[in-house]
Structure 1
Amino acid sequence: MNQDEAIMLLEYVSAACPAQKVGEFTPDVWGELLAPYNLTDARAAVLAVARRQPFVSPAEIITEIKERREERIALANPVYEGDPAETGIESARSVRALLRAAADGRLPKRTITAALGKGSDGTPELPSGRVRAILGAAAKEAPKTREGVVNVRATTCQRCNAAPGASCTTRSRRMADAHPIRLADAQRAAAGLPPVDPAEEQREIERRIAASAARAAADTTRPDYKDAT
């Protein structure tokens, strides 16, 4: 969940729990606490909690999401057959990918018998090896950034050293927005480019200052400058 989605979720919470107060920095804190989870699961969790009580906290949302994900895993009965060509680390990654796919709801509900690849009559029911390969390949792909959306908090800020997931700060106070260099780094990361070189940024700042000074000096030499003043 990114910052924009955290704001959307809080609007959803406000609609479900009108008496709940939302402060200026509430979206920042909720965005950090709920960063590992997606907006769809969080909204479903808000509804579940709001049906029981008049207020909703991030801890209750997280608990609800985890319970739903564990339930999906249990209903999917994921079974990993293993691959002799894989190393131990690769095998562990494949297992985690399979469990994550089940928790995300990308695996259908099925019985233990079906998960083992046999129907009720003992005949093969699912091409489990092929399913495993497809899921493993999908899970190992780098997450795709939605067009027009950049997760600024996924990067470290070169200006204030804010860690990934944390807000930028200035004079020890949390900022509502990120430092420009952090935004630039996030945009470059989304495009597969390296972070901004601070020295290059400083040169660009100095170039702009010099250009502004040159424009100001040019204005003072205009024939109509004194008339305008």
Structure 2
Amino acid sequence: MTEEEAIDLTEYVQAACPAQKFGEYTPDVWGEILAPYSLGEARAAVLVLAGRLRFIAPADIVAEVKARRAERIELANIVVDGDPAHTGAESAAAYREIIKAAGDGLTGPSSIRASLGAAGRLALPPGADHGPYEGRAAAARAAIGKMPADRDATKDPRGRACRRCGAAPGISCTTGGRRRRDVHPIRLEDTRRAAAGLPLLDHDQEQARIKDASAAALARAVEDQEPEAEAS
């Protein structure tokens, strides 16, 4: 928020709260406090606050802006697997940029990936095709970098769909509805076999083989314990 915008905001608040007094230096102080936020965000907060408060302080505006940003971030349902080529610092910077884009309302109430069209562009809110939104969208697109759909399915397990949980390419595997840190073994095996030029294993047969192997291991463990039980 610029100094001129701070003046506009205090005039806006004064119009919404006629009983509130403002001094000569009020816009200067408010401008310093609200500098990290846009005039649009602050005015939207004032509209909400004026409906329940007789006087509005900068702290009230900051709290309302933060609450609305947190709400937009939560509704964005952001899922970011990251780029294996990024360093830790690059990944952290990219994630911060994506979170900020969600807070700015550039992603909409969905996943941030769902807000990216075929051309890899963020879907902007109606009427926000130009101006500061365009710059923020460009920054978010740069932060996201190579999209998961572009991953090499012969090297990155997340570059292919998972036949165990149905996760789409670029999306992490889930178990019981919760995101896994690793991928399902069948997804990793599919990747390895694709890299070696081998056909994929039959999923049902592989599941049956795993169950049989587990049952056989359990039977051996029971047999190993029986002689000990007899000796005692």
- How far apart in 1 are the matches of 2:100 and 2:112? 16
Q: Residue 36 of structure 1 aligns to which amino acid in structure 2? A: P
TM-superposition CA deviations, 1:137-180 (whole Å, max 9, x none): 2799xxxxxxxxxxxxxxxxxxxxxxxxxxxxxxxxxxxxxxxx
TM-superposition CA deviations, 1:106-145 (whole Å, max 9, x none): 11211xxx5676xxxxxxx9669946896242799xxxxx
Give the 5 Å matches for 1:187-202: none
The CA deviation at 1:79 is 1.6
- How far apart in 2 are the matches of 1:106 and 1:116? 12
Tell me what 1:93 maps to.
Answer: 93
Tell me what 2:23 maps to.
Answer: 23
Q: Residue 13 of structure 2 aligns to which amino acid in structure 1? A: V
Q: Residue 142 of structure 2 aligns to which amino acid in structure 1? A: A
- How far apart in 1 are the matches of 2:70 and 2:4? 27
Taking only aligned residues, the RMSD between alpha carbons, in angstroms, comes to 2.8
TM-score of the superposition, structure 2-length normalised? 0.51
Secondary structure in 2 matching 1:73: helix
The yes-or-no answer on 1:79 pairing with 2:84 is no
Give the 5 Å matches for 1:195-214: none
Structure with higher Rg: it is: 2
- How far apart in 2 are the matches of 1:6 and 1:81? 39
- How far apart in 2 are the matches of 1:55 and 1:93? 38
Tell me what 2:142 maps to.
Answer: 137
The yes-or-no answer on 1:67 pairing with 2:67 is yes
Tell me what 1:162 maps to.
Answer: none
The CA deviation at 1:80 is 1.4
- How far apart in 2 are the matches of 1:94 and 1:34? 25
Mapped contact 1:3–1:27 kept (Cα < 8 A): yes
More relative contact order in 1 or in 2 (CA 8 Å, sep 6+)? Answer: 1
- How far apart in 2 are the matches of 1:97 and 1:68? 18
TM-score of the superposition, structure 1-length normalised? 0.51
- Gaps of at least 5 residues in structure 2 are 123-136, 146-232
